[in-house]
Amino acid sequence: MKCTVFKFGGASVRDPKRIKNVAGIIQQQKRKKLVVVLSAMGKNTNQLEGYVTDYLKSKKSLGSNLEAFADQHYAVAQALDVNPKDLKKKYTKLAKACQALLASQKKLDEAYIYDQIVSLGELYSTVLVHNYLSSIGLSVAWLDIRGVLKTDRTYREGKVDFKKTVKLVSKKIKALTKEADVIITQGFLGGTADGATTTLGREGSDYTAAILAYALGVEELTVWKDVPGILTADPRRFDNVELLERLTYREAIEMTYYGAKVIHPKTIQPIQNKGIRLKVKSFIHPENKGTVISTQGQLKYPPIVVIQDDVILLQISSKDFSFISEDHLSFIFEKMRKHKIKLGVMRNSAISFTLVILPVKESLLKTFIKDISVLLTVDITRGLQMMTIRHFQESLLHKLIQDKVILFEETLDDTVTMVLKASLEFKEG
Binding residues vs Mg ion (CB under 5 A)? 9, 203
Q: Give me the least distance between CB of 206 and ligand ASP, in Å please.
A: 6
Work out whether 156 is an interface residue with ligand ASP (CB under 6 A): no
Nearest approach in angstroms of CB 325 to Mg ion is 42
Q: Is residue 203 at the binding interface for ligand ADP, with CB under 6 A as the rule?
A: yes
Closest CB to Mg ion among residues 122, 203: 203
Query: Sign of the C-alpha dihedral, residues 101, 104, 105, 106?
Result: positive
* Neighbouring C-beta atoms of residue 228, cutoff 10 Å: 20
For helices 84-103 and 61-79, what crossing angle results, to 10°?
160
Residue 40 touches which of Mg ion, ligand ADP, ligand ASP, none (CB < 5 to 8 A by kind)?
Answer: ligand ASP
- The answer to whether the CB of 247 falls within 8 A of the CB of 291 is yes
Q: Whole-angstrom Cα distance, residue 354 to residue 378? A: 10
Return the closest-CA partner of residue 382 out of 356, 412, 417: 356
Can you tell me which of 26, 40, 76, 80 binds ligand ASP, judged by CB under 6 A? 40
Q: Which is nearer to ligand ASP, 261 or 277 (CB)?
A: 261
Site string for ligand ADP, 259-288 (x = CB under 6 A): -xxx--------------------------
Strands 33-38 and 182-186, bridge-based pairing: parallel
The identity of residue 296, as a single letter, is Q
Which residue of 202, 237, 261, 277 would you call a contact of ligand ASP, by CB under 6 A?
A: 202
52 is a contact residue toward ligand ASP (CB under 6 A):
no
What's the closest the beta carbon of residue 331 comes to ligand ASP, in angstroms?
Answer: 34
Q: Are 324 and 353 in contact (CB under 8 A)?
A: yes
Least separation, in Å, of the C-beta of 48 and ligand ASP? 9
155, 197 Cβ separation under 8 angstroms: no
Provide the 8-state DSSP code for 240. Answer: S
DSSP state letter for 53: H
Instruction: Give residues in contact with ligand ADP (CB under 6 A).
Output: 9-11, 39, 203, 225-227, 230-231, 233-236, 260-262
Instruction: Give residues in contact with ligand ASP (CB under 6 A).
Output: 9-10, 39-40, 45, 121, 187-188, 202-205
